[in-house]
Amino acid sequence: MHELSIAISMVDMAAEEAAQRGDVKVNAIYLKLGAMSGVVKDALLFSYDVVCEGTPMEGSRLVIEEVPIIVFCPKCEIETAPVSINNLCCPTCETPTPQVVRGREMEVTALEIE
């Protein structure tokens, strides 16, 4: 499962960071997740809890900030939200907008440490 391996690497990363700071406790991991990242939010949250169980990370939270899709319309020359995730067209002029500006990201933005 895709989300499980992502959760494992995130927890590993946070545990390493905590160890480097002198075995502090991580309360939360903040993650930015784009709507087109290909990661299922609920599956990731579930995997996170499974991975944390029985580790020093147990009881910590994964806080996901969902990033909507933003595309660039070459005709209107603006950045806009597309019609839908399956229909990347400009809502104003209906030009296909293959240039995705935001929405593919998956990055840890912060760790909350005790």
- Site residues, Zn ion (CB under 5 A): 73, 75-76, 90, 92-93, 95
Least Å from the CB of residue 84 to Zn ion: 15
Q: Give the integer Cα–Cα distance in Å for 45 and 79.
A: 30
Q: Give the integer Cα–Cα distance in Å for 54 and 49.
A: 10
Query: Considering beta carbons, is residue 26 or 90 the nearer one to Zn ion?
Result: 90
Chain position whose Cβ is nearest to Zn ion:
90
Least Å from the CB of residue 69 to Zn ion: 15
Least Å from the CB of residue 97 to Zn ion: 7
Query: Considering beta carbons, is residue 5 or 92 the nearer one to Zn ion?
Result: 92
What's the CA angle centered on 35, arms 96 and 106, to 5 degrees? 120
Least Å from the CB of residue 95 to Zn ion: 5
* CA 41 vs CA 8, 35, 52: distances in Å: 15, 9, 17
Query: Considering beta carbons, is residue 47 or 80 the nearer one to Zn ion?
Result: 80
Query: Considering beta carbons, is residue 9 or 95 the nearer one to Zn ion?
Result: 95
Cβ contact 33:108 at 8 Å = no
Q: Give the integer Cα–Cα distance in Å for 32 and 64.
A: 6
